Structures are given as C-alpha cells and as structure tokens.
C-alpha cells in the first residue's frame, strides 16, 4: 500500500542553521505531497504542498520539491528560527474515487525539530 517514510527525530539545530528533513514515499499513480507542521499543543497546519512532479512548494521560507524519479519530497529551510520548533509531518494523498478510501491522507511518523538560540 501507499506509505510515507521520513527521517527520525528529534533534530536539534542552532538558530540560523540549515534544515533538511528527508521524506520519501511509495504510491501508485500520481499522488499529491504535503508538509504539515504541528506547534506545541495545537493541531496540524498545512505548511506547503506540491501536486505534480517537479513542482516546488514554498511557504515561510520552507521549500520542498516533488521528485518523482527519487520518490522524495525533502523539506528545507536556509535559516531556521526558534519559532520553527515544532513537529513536521510529510504526507501524501493518492488519487481518489467516489466510494473508495484512496482519498485518505497518509502521514509519516513526524520529525520533531528543536531550534536553540
């Protein structure tokens, strides 16, 4: 079945360091890919998305490129801030059809990021 694998955490960085969180996926067809962020005590928020191969999603200085050849969607940020401390989830959504379960969002296990001043 479809699945998402992301790097294990926790990840601890100093402020202004470069961030990469790896994400690879397995899916049939052409899924859309997402990064969600969860700040302490809150629900998940969409950070960025890409809906087809070679698309780059970006938001708040974060970027990720949909690489079909390597089935990857790695999250990057050039200079992290303390306020970026959160849990980051990679997710995919497979093509759906009415009456089927393929409209589900499938998540990786999450990567906890801590940024120190």
Partner 1 sequence: DVKVTQSSRYLVKRTGEKVFLECVQDMDHENMFWYRQDPGLGLRLIYFSYDVKMKEKGDIPEGYSVSREKKERFSLILESASTNQTSMYLCASSLRGVNTEAFFGQGTRLTVV
Q: How far is the CB of 107 from partner 1 (least distance, A)?
A: 4
117 binds partner 1 per the rule CB under 8 A: no
Q: Check: CB of residue 57 under 8 Å from CB of residue 46.
A: no
Among residues 62, 84, 93, 113, which is the contact residue for partner 1, using CB under 8 A?
93
Q: Check: CB of residue 40 under 8 Å from CB of residue 86.
A: yes
26-65 b/e (C-beta count within 10 Å ≥ 16 → b): ebeeebbbbbbbbeeeeebeebbbbeeeeeebeeeebbbb
Q: How far is the CB of 25 from partner 1 (least distance, A)?
A: 13
Distance in angstroms (rounded) separating the CA atoms of residues 53 and 60: 22
Q: Which of residues 13-32 bind partner 1 (CB under 8 A)?
A: 30-32
# binding residues, partner 1 (CB under 8 A)? 29
Q: What is the CA radius of gyration of the chain?
A: 14
Which among 12-20, 61-69, 72-80, 88-96 is the span making contact with partner 1, rule CB under 8 A?
88-96
49 binds partner 1 per the rule CB under 8 A: yes
Residues at the interface with partner 1 (CB under 8 A): 30-32, 34, 36, 42-46, 49, 51, 89, 93-96, 98-101, 103-110
């Amino acid at each position: 079945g479809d699945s998402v694998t992301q790097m294990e955490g926790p990840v601890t960085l100093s402020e202004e360091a470069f961030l990469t969180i790896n994400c690879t996926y397995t899916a049939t067809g052409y899924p859309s890919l997402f990064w969600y962020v969860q700040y302490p005590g809150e629900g998940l928020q969409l950070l960025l998305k890409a809906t087809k191969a070679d698309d780059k999603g970006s938001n708040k200085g974060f970027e990720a490129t949909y690489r079909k050849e390597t089935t990857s969607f790695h999250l990057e940020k050039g200079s992290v801030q303390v306020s970026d401390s959160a849990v980051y989830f990679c997710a995919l959504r497979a093509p759906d059809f009415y009456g089927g379960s393929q409209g589900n969002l499938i998540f990786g296990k999450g990567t906890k990021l801590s940024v120190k001043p």
